[in-house]
Amino acid sequence: MPIIEQKIWINAPIEICFDSARNVGIHTKTLQTTKEKAIAGVTNGLMGEGDTVTWEAVHFGIRQRLTAKITRMEKPHYFTDMMVKGAFSSFTHHHLFNQHAGGTMITDIFEYKSPFGLLGVLADKLFLEKYMRRLLFDRAISLKKIAENDDEK
């Protein structure tokens, strides 16, 4: 099961970073390359513990749907979302926020299991893990720009 961990420094208070990361509209802005949009559950505003959202996006030229639920939250320090339904066998995404002088360090820990047994493991090694790392990195950079320019919300 691949585990992707990344950190990004954002020159903004922890509350802005935390709210930006769980804002459905901002999520959509940060994943424009995949045409991601919320189609069910919470479709705008801030998500809270117990909320679900169904995302529709295009990955590898295929329109896909994925439903995730926020299973744990401690404002403004962390929240965890897990896949309820979608293309993966499973995924868990931990979002951690640590405030320091002048800004916030965000740590993403994304654990997933591909479907299709050994074929899925092979897909991870050949392209999927790299794709997911890039997607999470690009989203983090977009989130940084938005949080540092809080007027975009």
pLDDT digits (tens, 9 = 90+) for 25-35: 999 999 999 99
- How many domains is the chain built from? 1
For 24, the domain range is 3-152
Query: What is the full per-residue pLDDT of the chain (153 aa) written as tens digits?
Result: 899 999 999 999 999 999 999 999 999 999 999 999 999 999 999 999 999 999 999 999 999 999 999 999 999 999 999 999 999 999 999 999 999 998 999 999 999 999 988 888 888 999 999 999 999 999 999 999 999 997 444
CATH number of the domain encompassing residue 79: 3.30.530.20
102: helix, strand or coil: coil
| CA distances in angstroms from 5 to 36, 81, 86, 112, 131, listed in the order given | 22, 15, 21, 12, 14
Measured distance CA(36)–CA(56) in Å, rounded: 5
pTM: 0.92
